[in-house]
Amino acid sequence: MTVSSFAAIAQFAPVRFESPLLHASGDDAEGSLFITDADRIRFDISLNEAGPQPASFEPAGARRLLFYDPPQTRAAIVTCGGLCPGLNDVIRALVMELHHWYGVREVLGIQYGYAGLVPDTDCPPRPLTVADVDDIHTHGGTILGSSRGKQGVGRMVDMLVERRIDMLFCIGGDGTLRGAHELAREIRRRGLPIAIVGIPKTIDNDIDLIYRSFGFQTAVEEADKVLDCAHMEANGARNGIGLVKLMGRESGFIAAHATLASGDVNYCLVPEVPFDLGGDNGLLAHLRRRLATRRHAVIVVAEGAGANLIGDTGRRDASGNVIVNDIGLYLKEAITSAFAEWNEPVSIKYFDPSYLIRSVRANSSDSIFCGDLGRHAVHAAMAGKTDLLIGLWHGVFTHVPLEAIVGRRKKINPNGNLWHSVLASTGQPSSMSNIDAATTPTQD
Amino acid sequence: MTVSSFAAIAQFAPVRFESPLLHASGDDAEGSLFITDADRIRFDISLNEAGPQPASFEPAGARRLLFYDPPQTRAAIVTCGGLCPGLNDVIRALVMELHHWYGVREVLGIQYGYAGLVPDTDCPPRPLTVADVDDIHTHGGTILGSSRGKQGVGRMVDMLVERRIDMLFCIGGDGTLRGAHELAREIRRRGLPIAIVGIPKTIDNDIDLIYRSFGFQTAVEEADKVLDCAHMEANGARNGIGLVKLMGRESGFIAAHATLASGDVNYCLVPEVPFDLGGDNGLLAHLRRRLATRRHAVIVVAEGAGANLIGDTGRRDASGNVIVNDIGLYLKEAITSAFAEWNEPVSIKYFDPSYLIRSVRANSSDSIFCGDLGRHAVHAAMAGKTDLLIGLWHGVFTHVPLEAIVGRRKKINPNGNLWHSVLASTGQPSSMSNIDAATTPTQD
Amino acid sequence: MTVSSFAAIAQFAPVRFESPLLHASGDDAEGSLFITDADRIRFDISLNEAGPQPASFEPAGARRLLFYDPPQTRAAIVTCGGLCPGLNDVIRALVMELHHWYGVREVLGIQYGYAGLVPDTDCPPRPLTVADVDDIHTHGGTILGSSRGKQGVGRMVDMLVERRIDMLFCIGGDGTLRGAHELAREIRRRGLPIAIVGIPKTIDNDIDLIYRSFGFQTAVEEADKVLDCAHMEANGARNGIGLVKLMGRESGFIAAHATLASGDVNYCLVPEVPFDLGGDNGLLAHLRRRLATRRHAVIVVAEGAGANLIGDTGRRDASGNVIVNDIGLYLKEAITSAFAEWNEPVSIKYFDPSYLIRSVRANSSDSIFCGDLGRHAVHAAMAGKTDLLIGLWHGVFTHVPLEAIVGRRKKINPNGNLWHSVLASTGQPSSMSNIDAATTPTQD
Amino acid sequence: MTVSSFAAIAQFAPVRFESPLLHASGDDAEGSLFITDADRIRFDISLNEAGPQPASFEPAGARRLLFYDPPQTRAAIVTCGGLCPGLNDVIRALVMELHHWYGVREVLGIQYGYAGLVPDTDCPPRPLTVADVDDIHTHGGTILGSSRGKQGVGRMVDMLVERRIDMLFCIGGDGTLRGAHELAREIRRRGLPIAIVGIPKTIDNDIDLIYRSFGFQTAVEEADKVLDCAHMEANGARNGIGLVKLMGRESGFIAAHATLASGDVNYCLVPEVPFDLGGDNGLLAHLRRRLATRRHAVIVVAEGAGANLIGDTGRRDASGNVIVNDIGLYLKEAITSAFAEWNEPVSIKYFDPSYLIRSVRANSSDSIFCGDLGRHAVHAAMAGKTDLLIGLWHGVFTHVPLEAIVGRRKKINPNGNLWHSVLASTGQPSSMSNIDAATTPTQD
């Protein structure tokens, strides 16, 4: 399909102006930001052609032939790691699809994460019926409980064998999926027909090769409400500063999207874009200039931002994630000190809403998405697929081998459209580093 | 990437079971519902190869060279048709992008739709500054007002010329975009360099070639709340029936998605799947059997469903849409009469929440999406693109020629995954027609 | 306590101005609207003095000596009439207080209202444990189901005797409480020690002698959201009219309070203040003048308003309430016709959100209030009190004999503070009747 | 009105049982908890009798004669202290009532609290028109800004004189009202006719002689949502503990009401009821026993609770409020340490939602209440009343002399109905002190 363009009409031809965005984006960003006339987007993204194949995914969905005989099948479900909106929706969808459409009679809920998947747990699996899950999607959390941390792979496979479990659905993040992959490898080593299917859970939406993860949209919705509160607090005091720490250890997707949804954020700080505090182009100097004229500011900081400033603690949590120092509290104190030194009073209100966001019920969009994930996971397992997770690529549900995603993160491209939109919304300088951006225009 | 499958391992090989979904879906649906081993999804959907090209879209986005000189440019915005969550977000994004990033100094808001786009309107355009639009996204509706109906194309072009408008952003549905296309043609006929860029608005999400339209997710969220109320009312009475009419004149996307989000709906009726009222496989007989055992039911009906039962009124509204008889009230009376005849008391509560859904503020996801649409529309117009709208295809924003979508609708595929999920969620029979589904299994 | 007043200081004494409210309120309203220097409010409203007593209530609350022996006591709960936010909260509080604090072991839930309180019901009572009610307050509706209509008093007492029920908690409106009173009389006639305690349920908040009824605040909150939608729809069209029908058959409290909460209503129509449609001081003429200058209007009408215009249908519903013609649809058509005749286009959007309001979960304030009502009802019954309901008077929970309230309604005083506030908020004329208010000043 | 009671009927007479609440409430609480047959509640609480008068309030409301001539009057409004839902609603009501009903033409908004009420402020007062305040009630915060802290009384009066302000409306808490009282005294000393009217703002609802303060119900509503999140987090982990710190420096009303609204809290800690951490009857021992059987717990702590444990910091904030150590963080660490010592893993999630609660928009009930407060404040000032605030007593709006409330707090009565309801809801022991409650029954 060809689009009309005055620029292509001889009558209007000679005049062409260079885009002001070239300057605004501050550097050689045009490689990724600007579209050229040769760029096109495929109408059809499915493939079933002969000959050499481009990179592709296996699509998820129901298969006509099954590997397991449904009435003889015993399935199990486990939820791991921190809460995320939609956990109960996924559990519900798994149970409903297994029972109603495939006729699987036994579904077990493993309690408190992998800690409940060992033979000697004192919280044994509980049977899950349709009645048990009927209205669990109206509440946040997970009815199965969760935990962080690993268990011995061998002991977990022992448990699966002992309980005669044919398929295990693992709902969790990077560490959980790594564990699931190890389970699948051990199962393969023993030559057992037990399927391991992952449903990726990352509220940060930063698992590689996956366009969207469940709970993310709900998290942005809740974060947006917090930003509104921060805006009110900032506006309500002279030199008021609303400082909000949001989730995002290695990527700033929640911070960026919540910033766009809100429209009231003045500085959005993410792990992908390092910044300085001091110096003429540092955050503090920009903040000072803004307060002098506008008297208030809203700052959003992803928990993994500013790693160059604070370093990590050298420790890891039970899931193996690096524990960083708290950038939110660090910023709060740095700002307080700086303005005290300048003898300019500020009123900082600090918000750390993480648990308030993780524990809410999924919104409608995430709830529907969780239903799709659950159903596709059942289709995959029943067909005998294993060692994979259910992904989404260009709007299509896919099968992704677990080893393809373990340890790989999606990140914001600082030269791409998302970050450009954030800069447009906040008016913050494209760089607050004193080294690489000495001449950056700003909109303080 | 290759996914592991037990079915492909010799050791487990001989056993394969036919999927129960084959029977549940009730007919030869496997063509579309089941995935085969040969199916794949492309990793990369962009194109810039030589040789014969497959069908494709022009991607949206900033261009390095502009057709208009920003400081000399005058833009205008018009909103048409019924309310839809996100209208103010789009207006805000247009104004912000034009002012802040391109340096356009004059943006006019056309008042009350195309009715305000004629030279003799008594509601002349109002200037829109950044301050005017700063917090309009926190409210539903449209600050410009809207209207249905057409105006003479010639007179509208006269107005654009008279007011020296260089680019017009038209936010509206099918009729509005048809009008925009006619405007672009008349402009081309007169040889004028005035760009016409559409932003598609259909709360029903049924514009062809466009994956998602703004306001749809918000509408599903609000509809989900109504379904919860209907469920409570149904449960609160013996033989209680909650009957909810939702938007969807020609497609049932809102009804289907709200049904999935809710989990409490027992019958979802959409235009794409005709149904009978009477007969042993008709809605009334199924409803009767359900009430006998379960004592309550929730029914969702899209406003365009059951056209085979009620026909249209033979009239059209000001936008040219056919006015159908009210299927909601029709069903309410048909059910009441039938149960009265059977001497079985029912308590029907009827919900018609259309305006309550259309007028709310956009949720975060739609708000961000509207921001993207607005920014891309500005990029397109500034580059001199015209007679197009901003679409979304496989997650990428695109330029779609207006003539490609006018009069074409997206519909639910009754053999596809969405409808299968609805059937799974409701437990309703895959057909409630007496002709084609005599042996359909049901889950009353 | 004496308050300082400049008017009482000699130095400032001679100057006193007559209040403009005297004129604004349009007639001899000063009797009720204005406060005089002699008026006072008691600090202490409790009484235990000797001598002649003023009118007073018996306070609710725990008694030290009980009539029933808790471990031997069997209680029952019934919910009747339409849904109202908080029903589940009351049920929960009754069960919790009976079990946890009094040690009552058996509580029965009567199903589907009085229809479930007859010996031959096919929906027999269900036992209610603490686990059964633990989280029911997170959902709207009633877990017991409800129904309208009466059953024979004798048969209901037979059922109480048969099931050895010692105390019955009746949650319902005027008709239900009348039924409860008849039950208590029949029980007294038979000399039985069965306590009947009512918890008044009227979403309209119009039971006499009771300051607040549960669900009312939640209803106003929900109605306020609807008014916001109506405002958006009205503003979104030229000569847009948002017309909202709210609950209130005999009193306009929901309409009045929602109007105050919203701040966007232009005309609030209630049963207590008759109005004309036609004539120079009728609603239509005022509306026409308003649209000419302001282009939009929001109208709220209580379902019982305008009875002078439409009359009733001559029928009663199962609860014995008179069925009136639908004033909302009547107004919609009258306005449409009038403006058609004047050849002035209007765009009316009609909202009838009744069931959407009745079926939601109670807000926190109502939830707490329901807990108090439930606990006080248990205290009353355990002490052997009967034939009463739990009320609230000047902030104190009270015992009110059932016969004192049956058939009596609380109404808005058109000369009082509430209505004055509504007039102040809407700017509507204090009278839209052509007879009594020829010279009323208006704020169209 | 006399209520029927089986206990008063001879036929049923001899049997009376002692209430189990006598034991449950654990001590000689019957003095306040139990009602006796002699107690009564007055029907009419107004007074205008001759002779000796009981303690009473002057009722608020419009007066027929005014002290100020409206067209010549200049009013000012100031908001002080922390944010509270409803500030904008009060501002709006003041402006609307002054303009629309009294015809006052000039209303000034003082910016950033008392800091803007001095002659040399660099944030001078801004005029407030009806258009300025029309939709401010749809947002939280205060459009005037606020600040903590005092200014010289003399300089503030100078400013009032300089700007020819006739009446000042002061919206704020204890410190603000103390300042207002000092202003009124200085004005009296100088013999000026400038009225000072306070509108009490305390989100904690603990101002003496006032039944309800604005924003409190909204705060409870928001706190309830946080408790729901805490419950989900607690349930989502083995030995999960949700620990929520809520507002309440000297009183626990928000904590107590939110606990009642939620129904999911297991321990509610307030300033009025001291508790121990260690010892067999201390919080830690109770918590340990609960986790052993129930595996999760939700704890709510008012910020002023446990003062016996932590002491204050010896400092005061700008408003003069004592700064206490953070009981929330203290508890978090004490619990973590204790369970680490016992070698029993716990998973604590800590919530400190203060700013998230203070900054939201008022709910409908508070919005209406703010409207009433604003209107009554205008009535009082126009009549020449001064040195007072607008209160609510037994449902009636009152005038309370400022000096009567300064420095006096309302507190929860540990022997009263509210606290009894909290104990009933949580099942926590009535005392967690090792000294006074060695034999308290518990419901861990």
For the segment B293-342, what is each residue's pLDDT rounded down to a tens digit?
Answer: 999 999 999 999 998 888 766 777 666 666 667 999 999 999 999 999 99
CATH of B217-357+412-426 given 3.40.50.460, 3.40.50.720, 3.40.50.2300, 3.30.470.20: 3.40.50.460
Q: Do D46 and C42 touch (CB under 8 A)?
A: yes
D342–chain C nearest CA distance, Å: 31
Q: Are D299 and D267 within 8 A, CB to CB?
A: yes
Averaged pLDDT score across all residues of chain D: 89
Q: Which residues contact B14 (CB under 8 A, 6 or more apart)?
A: none
Looking at residue C228, what is its pLDDT? 96
Report the amino acid identity of residue A160.
L
Q: What is the pLDDT of residue A171?
A: 98
D204 is catalytic: yes
For residue D238, give both structure tokens. Answer: 């083995």
User: For residues D268 and D255, what is the distance between their CA atoms, to the nearest angstrom?
Assistant: 7
A427 touches chain B (CB under 8 A): yes
pTM: 0.91
Write down the residue that tokens 């705060």 correspond to: D219
**Residue type for C150, please?**
K
Per-residue pLDDT at A438: 42
Residue C424 reports pLDDT greater than 50: yes
- Could A396 and B41 be called an inter-chain contact, meaning their C-beta atoms sit closer than 8 Å? yes
Task: Quote the tokens at residue D148.
Answer: 């903590």
Residues of C within 8 A of A141 (CB-CB) are none
Running DSSP on this structure, what letter comes out for residue C145? -
The CA distance from B210 to the nearest CA of chain A, in Å, is 11
Question: Among candidates C222, C202, C206, C225, which has minimal Cα distance to C214?
Answer: C202
Classify residue B100 as exposed, middle or buried by CB count within 10 Å of its CB (0-12, 13-18, 19+): middle
Pairwise pLDDT comparison (B18 vs C191), residue with the higher score: C191
Taking all residues of chain C, what is their mean pLDDT, rounded to a whole number? Answer: 89
Residues 154-183 of chain C with CB under 8 A from chain D are none
Residue with tokens 């004490």: D334
Greater pLDDT, D328 or A320: D328
Most confident of A31-35, A118-122, D28-32, D315-319: A118-122
DSSP run (H or E) holding D349: strand D347-351
Using CB atoms, pick whichever of A56, A134, A372 lies closest to residue B421.
A372
pLDDT of residue A190 exceeding 60, the answer is: yes
Residues of A in contact with B424 (CB under 8 A): 96-97, 100-101, 375
| pLDDT at position A276 over 70 | yes
Which CATH homologous superfamily contains domain D217-358+413-426? Phosphofructokinase domain (3.40.50.460)
What does the pLDDT read at residue D41?
A: 77
Q: What is the pLDDT of residues B92-114, one digit of tens each?
A: 999 999 999 899 999 999 999 99
Reply yes or no on whether the pLDDT at B279 is more than 50: yes
Q: Is there a contact between A6 and B92 if contact means CB atoms under 8 Å apart?
A: no
Q: How confident is residue A63, by pLDDT bands cut at 50, 70 and 90? A: confident
Name the pLDDT band for A131 (thresholds 50, 70, 90).
very high
The residue-averaged pLDDT of D308-329 equals 76
- For residue A366, what pLDDT band results from cuts at 50, 70 and 90? very high
Cβ atoms B229, C360 nearer than 8 A = yes
Given CB atoms, is B218 within the 8 Å cutoff of chain A? no
Q: Are A442 and A285 a contacting pair, CB within 8 Å?
A: no
Closest partner residue to D356 among A140, A141, A229, by Cβ?
A229
Confidence band for A368, pLDDT divided at 50, 70 and 90: very high
Q: What are phi and psi of B111, to 5 degrees?
A: -95, 140
- Residue of D144, D232, D319, D348 to mutate, interface with A, max A Cβ within 10 Å: D232
The predicted pLDDT at position A49 comes to 63
Least confident range from A75-79, A302-306, D48-52: namely D48-52
Tally Cβ neighbours within 10 Å of residue A231: 26
DSSP-assigned beta bridge partners for residue B268: B300
What's the alpha-carbon Rg for chain A, to the nearest Å? 25
Residue A30 pLDDT > 50: no
Answer whether B58-213+362-405 and B217-357+412-426 agree in fold: yes
The structure tokens 């049982």 sit at D17
Show which of residues 120-159 on chain B sit within 8 Å of chain A, judged by CB atoms: 134-135, 137
pLDDT of residue C27 exceeding 50: no
**Sign of the alpha-carbon dihedral angle for C23, C28, C29, C34:** positive
Q: Where do the domains of chain C lie?
A: 58-213+362-405, 217-358+413-426
Q: Flag the least confident range among A353-367, B21-35, C184-198, D427-441.
A: B21-35
Instruction: Tell if the CB–CB gap between C45 and D47 is shorter than 8 Å.
Output: no
Residues of chain D positioned with their CB less than 8 A from the CB of A351: 355-356
In this structure, the number of other CB atoms found within 10 A of the CB of residue B355 comes to 22
Instruction: Identify the pLDDT of residue A439.
Output: 44
What percent of chain C is predicted at pLDDT more than 70?
90
Closest CA to A259 of A268, A249, A246: A268
DSSP D269-307: E-TTS---SSSTTSHHHHHHHHHHHHSEEEEEEETTTTH
Question: What integer pLDDT is reported at residue C438 of this predicted model?
Answer: 42
Cβ under 8 Å to C: B residues 236-265: 236-238, 240
Range B404-429 average pLDDT: 89
Minimum Cα–Cα distance from B139: chain D residue: D138
Q: Say yes or no to pLDDT of C366 above 70.
A: yes
| DSSP symbols for C39-72 | -EEES--EE--SSSPPSEEEEPS--SEESS-GGG
CA-to-CA distance for D29 and D35, rounded, in angstroms?
11
Question: CA of D122 to nearest chain C CA: how many angstroms apart?
Answer: 32
Sheet with D267-269, side-by-side order of all strands: D267-269, D296-302, D240-246, D347-351
Subunit partners of chain B (3 or more CB pairs within 8 A)? A, C, D
pLDDT(C440) > 50: no
Residue D223 in this model has a pLDDT that exceeds 80 = yes
The alpha-carbon gap from D253 to the nearest alpha carbon of chain C, in Å, equals: 12
Residue B31 CB coordination number (10 Å)? 7
pLDDT above 90 for C25: no
- Please work out, in degrees rounded to the nearest 5, the angle formed at the alpha carbon of residue C125 by the alpha carbons of C120 and C130: 175
B236 with C115: Cβ contact below 8 A? no
The neighbours of chain D, by the rule of 3 or more Cβ pairs under 8 Å, are: A, B, C
pLDDT of residue D319: 63
User: What topology is assigned to D58-213+362-393 in CATH?
Assistant: Rossmann fold (3.40.50)
Q: Which residues of B are catalytic, by number? A: 204
Q: What is the mean pLDDT of residues C318-346?
A: 88
Contacts of D135 in chain C (CB under 8 A): 263
- Give me the percent of chain C exceeding a pLDDT of 90: 70
| Sign of the dihedral through C-alpha B331, B337, B340, B341 | negative
Residues in C closer than 8 angstroms to D47, CB to CB, are 39-42
Among C432, C335, C300, which residue's Cα sits nearest to residue C443?
Answer: C432
Mean pLDDT, to the nearest integer, of A181-201? Answer: 95
- Which residues of A are tagged catalytic? 204
Residue C154 has pLDDT above 80, yes or no: yes
pLDDT band at A38 (very low <50, low <70, confident <90, very high): confident
DSSP SS3 for A58? strand
DSSP 3-state of A74: strand
Å between B138 CA and nearest CA of chain D: 9
Chain D residues within 8 A of B139 when measuring between CB atoms: 138
Q: Which residue of A has its CA nearest to B221?
A: A364
- The pLDDT tens digits for D225-238 are 999 999 999 999 99
The architecture that CATH gives domain B58-213+362-405 is 3-Layer(aba) Sandwich (3.40)
Could you report the per-residue pLDDT of C157-177, keeping only the tens digit for each?
999 999 999 999 999 998 999
Rounded Cα distance, B263 and A93, in Å: 10
Predicted pLDDT of residue C30: 45
Cross-chain CB nearest to B7 (options A44, A364, A383): A383
Tell me if residue D127 falls in helix, strand or coil: strand
SS3 C342: coil
pLDDT for residue D353: 96
Nearest to A235 among D141, D235, D356 (CB): D141
C window 339-368, beta carbon within 8 A of D:
363-365, 367-368
pLDDT band at residue D437 using 50, 70 and 90 as cut-offs: very low
Q: Is residue B28 over pLDDT 60?
A: no
pLDDT at D142 over 90: yes
Q: Tell me the three state secondary structure of residue B17.
A: strand
Helix, strand, or coil (residue C17): strand
- B-chain CB neighbours of A375 within 8 Å are 421, 424
Tokens of B321: 């849409």
**Closest CA–CA distance from residue D360 to any residue of chain A (Å):** 6
- State the smallest CA–CA distance between residue D60 and chain C in angstroms: 7
* DSSP string over C408-432: -B----TTSHHHHHHHHHH---S--
Tokens representing B30? 């496997």
Query: Per mean pLDDT, which range of A237-246, B62-71, B229-238, D105-114 is the poorest?
Result: B62-71
D115/A238 touch (CB, cutoff 8 Å), yes or no = yes
Cβ–Cβ contact D83 with A under 8 A: yes
What is A218-359+413-426's CATH number, 3.90.1150.10, 3.40.50.460, 3.90.850.10, 3.65.10.10?
Answer: 3.40.50.460
- Give the pLDDT of residue B210: 87
Q: Is D50 on the interface with C (CB under 8 A)?
A: no
- How many contacts (CB atoms, under 8 Å) link A and C? 3
pLDDT band for D279, please (50, 70, 90 cuts).
very high
ipTM for the complex shown: 0.90
Query: Could you tell me which residue, A57 or B54, shows the higher pLDDT?
Result: A57
pLDDT of residue A356: 96
The residue-averaged pLDDT of C235-255 equals: 96
Given a cut of 60, whether residue B438 has pLDDT beyond it is no
Q: How confident is the model at residue C211 (pLDDT cuts 50, 70, 90)?
A: confident
pLDDT, tens digit, for every residue of B351-397?
999 999 999 999 999 999 999 999 999 999 999 999 999 999 988 89
**pLDDT tier, D394 (very low <50, low <70, confident <90, very high otherwise):** confident
How far is D439 from A357, CA to CA, in rounded Å? 41
